[in-house]
Amino acid sequence: MILTDTHCHLDHKKFDAVRAEVIQRAESAGVGRILIPGITLDSSRSAVKLAGSHPLLYAAIGVHPSDSLTWEDATPSALRELATHPKVVAVGEIGLDYYWDAAPHPHQIRVLREQLELAAELELPVVLHMREAKDALHGECAEDLLGILEDWTAGLISGKNPLAERPGVLHSFAGSLETAQQAICLNFFIGVTGPVTFENARRRQEIIAAIPVGCLLIETDAPYLAPHPHRGKRNEPSYVGLVAGKIAALHGVSIEEVARITTANANKLF
């Protein structure tokens, strides 16, 4: 059984003293690939450097919406240069965050659009962050993001860009089923993280149960969002099997089937 952790901040300082052991535990748990996303230009550089150090690791490059005030005129060129590394397989973590509101919404949108343009140029899929104000199930953030993605994917189609068939993933999805379905209609995957395993996450479980496994990716978002029974502790990629196991239970299939399908999905996307 091969698992793929499609979102793990393995460059985080919480892993500095134990990174080699964490990677080894992931391999022992059947994890065949780990994607490390950037959240700033500097962390994107760190992700690329780390990805180059081990065959299990790959990188995404980008600027997170909560860090979008760090965006400068030279940032696109720097990201473009990083993208020449063979271990770079996506642009991310990019998107919109109306929960922390660390940057004005128009600025977040401008930076997102610029990074989507870069992804189209590089023909790299995007790893998208979306978080509503007050962690609402649906709101302005989803409306803005879906509108932007509809325009972007329409441009990919009209330009005959092959990325139209695999544009990206809505990472650590916490939105409504309707939002997920709209994204899936645009060929996006839906990323599932540890909170789906929480006993009090009934609504999230119902939404994930209603989405075909063929549209899902599994991820940890480590060191954050550790699944049950590790909730509240430092997360790590070896726990991604717990997410797969919960999806299997929700869909009434084996964990091996979930591992097979989600790994195939990850291979298609990245």
Q: Are 125 and 168 in contact (CB under 8 A)?
A: yes
Q: Are 219 and 240 in contact (CB under 8 A)?
A: yes
Rounded to two decimals, the pTM is 0.98
Type of residue at 99? Y
Q: Are 128 and 94 in contact (CB under 8 A)?
A: yes
User: What pLDDT score was predicted for residue 145?
Assistant: 98
User: What pLDDT score was predicted for residue 259?
Assistant: 98
Structure tokens at 186: 């645009």
CATH at residue 75: 3.20.20.140
User: What pLDDT score was predicted for residue 159?
Assistant: 97
Kindly tell me the sign of the dihedral angle through the C-alpha atoms of 202, 207, 211, 215: negative
Quote the number of domains for the chain. Answer: 1
CA–CA gap between residue 38 and residue 48 (Å, rounded): 9
Its domain, for residue 247, covers: 3-269
User: What pLDDT score was predicted for residue 119?
Assistant: 98
Successive 10-residue mean pLDDT values, the chain, 270 residues: 98 97 98 98 98 98 98 98 98 98 98 98 98 97 98 98 98 98 98 97 98 98 98 98 98 98 98
192 in the Ramachandran plot: left (φ > 0), alpha (ψ -120 to 50) or beta?
beta
User: What pLDDT score was predicted for residue 197?
Assistant: 98
Structure tokens at 205: 């479980």
